[in-house]
Amino acid sequence: MAKNRSLLGEFWGFLMERKAWWLAPIIILLVIVGALIIFSQSSALSPFIYALF
């Protein structure tokens, strides 16, 4: 049976095995933009975050 690993563990294993390091900045950027979108919807800082875009 395969080991149960987290999503981060699976991603790290994929990067180590396939040497696909160019994917890491793309994934990190997508996570940051997603977090900005989620936090800006109900925050008092919304006008300032929207000014960035």
pLDDT in tens, the chain (53 residues): 456 778 888 888 888 888 888 888 888 899 998 888 787 777 676 677 667 76
Instruction: Supply the DSSP string of 7-47, one letter for each residue.
Output: HHHHHHHHHHHHT-TTHHHHHHHHHHHHHHHHHHTT-TTHH
In whole angstroms, give the CA distance from residue 36 to residue 40: 6
Give the separation between CA 15 and CA 6, rounded to whole angstroms. 14
pTM of the complete model beyond 0.85? no
Asked if 50 and 40 touch (Cβ cutoff 8 Å), the reply is yes
37: Cα separation from own chain's centroid: 12
